[in-house]
Structure 1
Amino acid sequence: MNGLERFLNRATRGLPAGRRRLVREELRGNILERTAELQVTGLPREEALRRALQDFGAPAPLAAGLRRVHLWPRLGLLGGLCSVALAGTLLALPRQTARELPLVTYLPECRPSSTTSAALCTHAQDFWVGLGGLTARLEAQGATVETVQRTVPVPAGLESPLTSVSEEVLVVRWMEATGEAGRVEFPRTNRVLDIMIEQANRNGRPDFWPGPVLERGGERLLSSDILLSSVWSTLNQPLTVERPFDGPVLRLGRLRLELAQPGEGVSVLPMVEQRLGATLYGPTQLTIFAGAHLIPRPHESRGSVPSFAQHIDVQGVPGEVYAVLRPVAFRGVNGLGMDLATVDDQGQLPFRSAQPQVRFVRDLKALGASGAAKPAVALLRLGLAVRMGRDGLVAYTLEVP
């Protein structure tokens, strides 16, 4: 019995027989999807599978959460599994001072599955940041961090007697070597979203779980989505992202914010994809799809279109990030499917294509309108670090091997 089968047996132990098969197959598909993603970055299959299993965490807590779900049907699989994982992780954290707190706390994010009643929980690209550790790291580099109260209106469509709420924001300021003042903001609270969550729960639709800001013993934890969107939307300096695939480092002007070390499973690829998609939309007016259904992604179903492995000699050095763009069509909309990959140790870029042979082009707009059957690909060289201007647009160079 291989490692994957052992993991599946342990993770689904104790479930009713009728549910165990469905949950087991859902988990298997999600793990294999994550394995395929890691293989594209250059990892051998055995190592990619080992890393994928690590991303999903220990099977025993997962099994306990799944069993709790079936004993707590009112909450449902999504809420039960997330609440069990969340509570277990938070209670396991030792009490520490702000400067001793780790910056990243791992908590799974659970999404409902479109194919079964099971939920997908992955650690791969979802994490939480302790604001105590964040503040300590920024202050150690000479920044000042201030908590500011702001009044925010409650959207009219929400079922709330309140018309406004008071939100807390961390305002970070520092001086660059040029004498220019740097500034970025992070939320300490998000009461408007809390109201939205409460309304969704009342209506039987837990659309958000467990929310963007958590609190444990006075320590605030900020979700990775909110952290990253706050950085690119409020930073008045260019942003550079080093190691976006694994162990990312955010360069906020002269400040350096290391979110994790390589090998810890922390990634900021969703933010890079989002900002690169916005960058490409301007000149092309094309819909940019994250992924081209050639490389399975965590939020997709297990199925993917047939594809062919490519290893192309490129100008970039090992570790450089490239975006691979292919023409795709989804529900009648032509656009560009985008995957990110890194140059391997042999100086080649590994990716997958819908055809065994491809040609490389420079005209992105024509590429997107050419139809998914065309064997054409565009490569965007992003560099060893992804650079974003103050407008949030990503710098890239079109490359034709």
Structure 2
Amino acid sequence: MTTAAHTTPRALTAYLTRATWGLPEARRQELWDELEEHILTRTDHLILSGLTPTQATAQAIRELGPPARVTLGMAKVYTMPKLILAAGTLALGISAGLYALAGGSTTSTTLTVVRQAPVKPSCVRGTKPSGDNITIVSETGGVTCYTFNDNEVNKGVFLKGTDVTRALDAQGVTLSRDGRSLALGGTSVNARFTRDGAAFFDASSVIDLLTQTRSVRFSGYTSPRVQVGDATLLLNAGPEDIGAAFYNASNSVFLSALVGQPVWGSYFVGTKTGPEHLISTGLKTGEAVMLVTSRGGTNFMVDTGKVDAQDRLSVHSRDRQLRFVSSLDQLGPYLSGGRRSALLVRITNLPLNNLKSGIFVPAQATSDAR
């Protein structure tokens, strides 16, 4: 069953063919109909927002995600026999060619992550600074230059500009002539620092730039993946877990998507020294989840964490006692029964523009910090 009298585009037919390949016939037709109805309904909405039918169909397909993910997800749901699963997996490889021919191919690029920005010395004339946290860099003509030994302020998730544009050239991302800014759709972001002649950008600012005009989806935690249209970026810092650094640095992106308008006010990220909450989620291992509390207006506190193999989530808050709610309008600056209202939002494996669908209330209605 579909929404209206549409002429099924070639790209949609190819997508549905690949997404349902290898499933039992009855299930295949059922999933085909459900996916087609979803895509066509979303296409109608996008057309009303000003996109052409071709653009709207392409975006609706991108928002749903790669067809291989749909196929394997349905295979698990229907608990298919191993033989059918094997046949379905083989069929995915065969059908990939069909999907690519229809213009639905995807590309994946690994971007090397730099975790430390260069430390710039501070210089003073006169009194020489001292202390256990001070390293003297130079002393010339009464001017002392020094750095602080605590370099946490310079830690982050940084991407080389040329790597970003190489991976996202087809999405319209360009690097300025001097290499110091990235631009997309009339918006630009500046480099955080340069090293060996190359400009490096905060990963969070790159993501913020992309979300202004592109459909974006996140997956993974230790090494996050960012799907932008038909391109997928894998942020790789080797064996280091960069999930908390990446997702917390991008909290304004997720808050803005959740609220439905830009959130540029004050918000605080939970620190690992604050009260820790261990919450049973019922979600799959590896999902990233954001905890949100409010002090009123745009004064939010957020922290992100990863669901472990026991479906538990570890996040931090300034409040020791939380009560979980199901919508934004239930958050507030006042305690109820000594507890702060809190929102849990799954932020991976769903379109950023549909982040509200990731809100969930765990089986435990409240949490007391450990």
TM-score by length of 1: 0.45
TM-score by length of 2: 0.48
